[in-house]
Every structure is written in structure tokens, then in C-alpha cells.
């Protein structure tokens, strides 16, 4: 489980440690998915949720200041480790998204 925020285009951004197993996996194969659910609702089968499928890649250096600002607005506690040398900024470029908007309401967005 990792924290994420959305960039200006609605793509998920992540601050990941190079020491983490998931980051090592991404170096070998950037294909990935992100599952998000509404944690405020109770009944698991009727909760809104989505799964994004795509590739996660490093964010170019010239974009990092803006991405860092967006991420820290959402996760201010990450300010400390955002300066650690082994942490890098990544972005998920979605290819497909599967949305469940409640019981019986679902579909793919491409």
C-alpha cells in the first residue's frame, strides 16, 4: 500500500523508495495497477471503487517541483522523506480503468 495524489491531468503520482520491493518490481516491469475504494462506505459489495491499469515511470526532473507541491498538499507528512536520497517520483500512465459505481453499475473506461 502506498500513498498517491493526482497530477493536473488526473494521473496518479507516487513517492517511492528505491529500497522497496514494489519499486524494484517496477524497474523490471513497469506494468502496474492501482486499486482505490471509497473507505467511507460500509457494505463492501456496494462501495464505489476503481482499478487503473497502465505503466508507472519516473517523472522527469523538470516536472518534480510541481508534482512535489501537489503531492505534499495531499500528504504533508511526506515532506520529510521526500528529501531522502533513495526516494523518487513516479507517475501511473493509465491505459484502462475499471469503475464500480455501486452494486450492478460498472464498466471499463479506455
DSSP 6-63: E-TTS-EEEEEETTSHHHHHHHH--EEEEEEE-TT---GGGS-EEEEEEEEEEPPGGG
Domain that holds residue 77: 5-109
Q: Tally the domains of the chain.
A: 1
Q: For residue 9, name the pLDDT band (cuts at 50, 70, 90).
A: very high
Q: What is the pLDDT of residues 64-92, one digit of tens each?
A: 999 999 999 999 999 999 999 999 999 99
Q: For residue 12, name the pLDDT band (cuts at 50, 70, 90).
A: very high
pTM beyond 0.75: the answer is yes
Asked whether the beta carbons of 52 and 42 are under 8 A apart, the reply is no
- Cell reading at 46: 456496494
CATH number, position 22: 2.30.110.10
The 8-class DSSP code of residue 94 comes to E
Which positions ≥6 away from 66 have C-beta within 8 Å? 7, 8
- Cell reading at 93: 500512465
Amino acid at each position: 500500500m502506498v500513498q498517491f495524489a493526482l497530477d493536473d491531468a488526473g494521473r496518479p503520482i507516487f513517492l517511492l523508495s528505491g529500497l522497496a520491493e514494489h519499486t524494484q518490481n517496477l524497474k523490471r516491469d513497469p506494468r502496474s495497477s492501482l486499486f482505490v475504494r471509497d473507505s467511507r462506505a460500509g457494505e463492501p459489495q456496494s462501495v464505489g471503487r476503481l482499478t487503473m491499469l497502465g505503466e508507472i515511470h519516473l517523472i522527469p526532473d523538470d516536472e518534480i517541483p510541481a508534482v512535489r507541491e501537489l503531492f505534499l498538499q495531499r500528504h504533508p507528512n511526506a515532506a520529510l522523506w521526500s528529501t531522502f536520497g533513495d526516494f523518487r517520483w513516479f507517475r501511473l500512465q493509465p491505459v484502462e480503468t475499471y469503475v464500480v459505481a455501486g452494486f450492478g453499475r460498472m464498466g471499463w473506461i479506455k
